[in-house]
Amino acid sequence: MKRFAQLIQELELSNKTTDKMEALVNYFNEANPLDKPYVIALFTGKRPKRPITTTLIKQWAIELSNIPEWLFTESYHSVGDLSETIALVLPPAAHTVEKPLHQWISELANLQSQTDEQKKAYILTAWNSLATQERFIFNKLISGNFRIGVSNKMLVNAIAKQSGNDTNKIMHSIMGKWQPNQISYEELTSGSHVNTDNSWPYPFCLAYALDNEPEQLGDTNLWQAEWKWDGIRGQIVKRNGELFIWSRGEELVTEQFPELHFLKDELPDGTVLDGEILAVKNGMVLPFSTLQQRLNRKTINKSQLDGAPIGFYSYDILEHQTIDIRNEPLSNRRALLEKLITSLSTKQIVLLSPTIKFNSWNELATIRETAREINSEGIMLKHQDSIFHAGRKRGDWWKWKINPYTVDTVMIYAQKGSGRRANFYTDYTFAVRDGDKLITIAKAYSGLTDKEIKEVNSFVNKNAIEKFGPVRTVKPELVFEIAFEGIAESKRHKAGLALRFPRIARWRKDKKADEINTLDDLRQLLNANS
């Protein structure tokens, strides 16, 4: 645990990729061999189940620290992270216990079947034997809320550097189903177990945003253009008579989309398709807000099936006749994909994502401007000779998105962030005008520079009007331009509207609060895109 706590501290204190990479490599060189698979699991989102409720943990921490609840609450609002707050308010440990990370995680898992009194006795004993930083990690393990600023790509590159194994093989290996208590670090990083699971997906190939004029890509004949659809990226896997559907977030979502289950009978064994799960009706792609009605549901009723019918737009084929063909050029894979999709009986559910014919970059730019008419986000550009690599590789695939919508808003609420931002107000709520009132329309957490964050923080400290727990109501004076990808009706929001992917485009210091947009402006935008 001590070595893992040291790793977390090194990662949290550094903003440089090279320093984080070095910290990860050193950890995998030095750590307990049984701990390493658990660390990979934690960093890739395979969190252990929460054995104890947050309410009980908070209650026990207040009792042990012997402070009033209001003071604990104020401390929490100041720190911004419950696990860290508990670690800080507890009295110093009476003694230290040296246990490896995998043992702590196993013991926490065993608490699932125990009584609250047994759980309390274990937690208090643990707190009394851990230093502050180790307590913080321990609390994170209890809550299951383990977020570290390490991308899968960075983790894989560090493992590759430490182990000498191929990055693609490592990326493939850490996806899908595996249990950290049932596999060694060497087995996991070498990929020796990859083919034992029929459901195993491949790492997704991702694109960089096009940051130059498309003309710089050269001859148009070397590029395949497709629409960039706004849905759930997924892989359909058919092996040994079984069908599996994976999301890009490495979640098995087969049961959520019964419309696609016919593929179990029609896809040949040893087939893996890459594509986009969308709401599709009569061959037309519906808005993402329609698709949302189907997401994360354990059961799907007839009303949902009728209201948000599902389709799968196929982009690529990664496995053909049990053979991994990701290293074949895109042009070859596309030919195989077209032949396969054409052979299916239900072409209104599984469709071939169409390529876009164009003779010049200017012509494609004009076509791109029509993307929203078909609920697309823009255009994907893929080199005809590109392989299906793991993650992103600059130069092969590009996403050329249409410009976002924008709206001028005023900030009315602010809340402190977490982690390194725990001392600054970085979470903001924005409003537009509705007659004489201000009505909230979006929250945003990104888009400002460090200097601007400090300026906003100073404004909040000087101009806070009311306090609701960690939230501060502020004078409605700061105007921000909010960018977003789409707009939809929403019963969950007071405005009756929801913005998709809102973020701060810029701080409009040139505008006053009476110049912001109105709710009617947004409703007109919604109607124009209906």
Q: Is 80 exceeded by the pLDDT of residue 113?
A: yes
- Whole-number mean pLDDT of the chain? 89
User: Residue 399 to residues 205, 211, 402, 485, 502: CA-CA distances in angstroms?
Assistant: 12, 9, 10, 14, 19
What distance separates the 2 farthest-apart alpha carbons in the chain? 75
Look up tokens 């209650």; give the residue: 59
Mean pLDDT of 206-226: 94
The answer to whether the CB of 95 falls within 8 A of the CB of 129 is: yes
Q: Which amino acid is at 157?
A: N
Q: What is the CATH number of domain 205-401?
A: 3.30.470.30
Reduced to 3 states, what is the DSSP secondary structure of residue 327?
coil
Q: Is 60 exceeded by the pLDDT of residue 426?
A: yes
Confidence of residue 153 (pLDDT cuts 50, 70, 90): confident
Distance CA 349, CA 279 (A): 10
Domain with CATH 2.40.50.140 in the chain: 405-528
DSSP 340-352: HHHT-S-TTTEEE
Q: How far does CA 462 lie from the centroid of its chain?
A: 35
Superfamily name with CATH number, domain 405-528 = Nucleic acid-binding proteins (2.40.50.140)
The answer to whether the CB of 499 falls within 8 A of the CB of 430 is: no
For 219-268, what is each residue's pLDDT tens digit?
999 999 999 998 999 999 999 999 999 888 777 788 889 999 999 999 99
CB atoms within 10 A of CB 95: 7
pTM flag (> 0.85): no
Q: Is 60 exceeded by the pLDDT of residue 196?
A: no
Give 3-state DSSP helix, strand, coil % of the chain, rounded to 5. 40, 25, 35
Q: Is 70 exceeded by the pLDDT of residue 194?
A: no
Q: Is 70 exceeded by the pLDDT of residue 418?
A: no
Q: Is 60 exceeded by the pLDDT of residue 446?
A: yes
Domain with CATH 3.30.470.30 in the chain: 205-401
For 342-389, what is each residue's pLDDT tens digit?
999 877 799 999 999 999 999 999 999 999 889 999 999 999 999 999
Question: Residue 58: which residues within 8 A CB-CB, separation 6 or more?
Answer: 72, 82, 86
CATH topology of domain 2-143: DNA ligase i, domain 1 (1.10.3260)
Residue 152 confidence (pLDDT):
78
For 452-469, what is each residue's pLDDT tens digit?
999 999 999 999 998 887
Domain with CATH 1.10.3260.10 in the chain: 2-143
For 26-39, what is each residue's pLDDT tens digit?
999 999 999 999 99
Catalytic residues: 228
